[in-house]
């Protein structure tokens, strides 16, 4: 093999690795936003199964409003407001009326999926394409100095505002949960609601706020997925990302950094699936199952480790 061929091979290999790592951040963003939002409800002892439907509402409503008005900012604002309404509905039924969290969450998910499908059918559209309004390439930010760093520049630069905001929110969520009065209230309500009420904390209000934070961030996740990333909405385009976020929260035990690392792992699985499919030829479609197999494998491993840890703790107590 000639030196030129070896150099070309290494160059192609580096490009593939760069693409995989760049796509990992790209595909992790909506999951991380849903994870960070869902963490607050999780800490307040509210299982928000409706993350999937809230993300889908953000994607659908933002694309629809952008198409109807021609305004990206109006699409973002209205999508957040509409998703907050969903959050209020979920909170009213599950917190105020004490309905089952899982049934209420699945009701939200089914409602949004049916609503978006109905509107597309009513408007006689196969999808909502806003590429004539939104310049996807123009929304990417090339960070000065970082963009010029070999390898790192190709991975960290060239993402959208919501992508960078999503990763910044991991730190912000950690600060809010562990270094503010609000965070203390959320954790106290989640750990012992009766004790929280006995010291004058309005537990229902804290739960409402926690769910609404998740709704707002899920709306941004939907905006990033449909408008910022693709300028296109299609039915059920969230493809289970809300449930992946719930799995990441479970695996990370509600710790912002750990949960986000699991979200990155699922993003890496998606990135590997897509990049491997480019070289797989006729069987490329099989790689679509890789991210979901990863979820099952990680959940199984985490459950086994936690069960073994609990058994060991029980043995020591005896």
More confident residue, 5 or 78: 78
Q: What is the DSSP letter of 158?
A: S
Beta bridge partners of 159: 141
Please indicate, yes or no, whether the overall pTM of this predicted structure exceeds 0.85.
yes
Q: Cα(194)–Cα(223) distance, rounded to whole angstroms?
A: 38
Average pLDDT across the chain, whole number: 86
Mean of pLDDT values over 178-190: 93
Cβ–Cβ contacts within 10 Å for residue 60, how many?
29
Q: Cα(308)–Cα(138) distance, rounded to whole angstroms?
A: 50
**Which structure tokens are listed for 228?**
């910022």
- The per-residue pLDDT for range 102-144, each reduced to its tens digit, is 999 999 999 999 999 999 999 999 999 998 888 888 888 888 8
Mean of pLDDT values over 178-200: 91
Beta bridge partners of 129: 232
Contact 43, 210 (CB under 8 A): yes
Which domains are seen in the chain, by residue range? 16-317 (1.10.3470)
Q: Cα(48)–Cα(34) distance, rounded to whole angstroms?
A: 11
Cβ–Cβ contacts within 10 Å for residue 184, how many?
14
Q: Cα(163)–Cα(251) distance, rounded to whole angstroms?
A: 22
The answer on pLDDT for 1 being more than 50 is no
> How confident is the model at residue 62, as a pLDDT?
94
Q: Cα(232)–Cα(134) distance, rounded to whole angstroms?
A: 10
Q: Cα(131)–Cα(273) distance, rounded to whole angstroms?
A: 26
The three-class DSSP label of residue 232 is: strand
The answer on pLDDT for 156 being more than 70 is yes
Torsion of CA 272, 282, 30, 156, to 10 degrees: 40
- The per-residue pLDDT for range 274-299, each reduced to its tens digit, is 877 766 666 556 667 777 787 788 87
> How confident is the model at residue 286, as a pLDDT?
64
The three-class DSSP label of residue 159 is: strand
Helices 181-191 + 203-223 axis angle, to 10: 110
């Amino acid at each position: 093999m000639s030196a030129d061929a070896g150099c070309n091979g290494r160059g192609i290999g580096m490009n593939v690795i760069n693409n995989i790592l760049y796509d990992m951040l790209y595909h992790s963003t909506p999951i991380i936003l849903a994870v960070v939002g869902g963490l607050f409800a999780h800490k307040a002892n509210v299982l928000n199964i409706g993350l999937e439907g809230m993300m889908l509402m953000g994607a659908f409503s933002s694309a629809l409003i952008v198409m109807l008005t021609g305004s990206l900012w109006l699409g973002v604002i209205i999508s957040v407001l509409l998703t907050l309404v969903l959050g209020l509905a979920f909170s009213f039924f599950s917190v105020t009326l004490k309905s089952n969290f899982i049934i209420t969450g699945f009701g939200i998910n089914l409602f949004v999926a049916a609503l978006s499908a109905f509107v597309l059918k009513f408007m006689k559209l196969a999808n909502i394409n806003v590429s004539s309004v939104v310049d996807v390439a123009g929304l990417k930010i090339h960070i000065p100095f970082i963009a010029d760093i070999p390898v790192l520049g190709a991975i960290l630069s060239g993402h959208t505002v919501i992508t960078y905001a999503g990763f910044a929110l991991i730190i912000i969520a950690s600060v809010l949960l562990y270094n503010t009065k609000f965070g203390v209230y959320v954790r106290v309500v989640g750990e012992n609601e009766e004790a929280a009420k006995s010291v004058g904390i309005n537990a229902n209000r804290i739960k409402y706020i926690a769910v609404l934070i998740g709704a707002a961030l899920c709306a941004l996740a939907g905006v990033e997925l449909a408008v910022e990333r693709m300028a296109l909405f299609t039915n059920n385009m969230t493809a289970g990302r809300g449930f992946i976020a719930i799995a990441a929260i479970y695996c990370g035990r509600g710790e912002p950094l750990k949960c986000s690392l699991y979200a990155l792992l699922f993003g890496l699985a998606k990135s590997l699936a897509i990049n491997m499919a480019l070289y797989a030829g006729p069987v490329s479609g099989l790689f679509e199952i890789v991210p979901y197999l990863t979820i099952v494998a990680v959940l199984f491993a985490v459950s086994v480790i936690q069960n073994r840890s609990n058994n060991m703790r029980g043995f020591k107590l005896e």
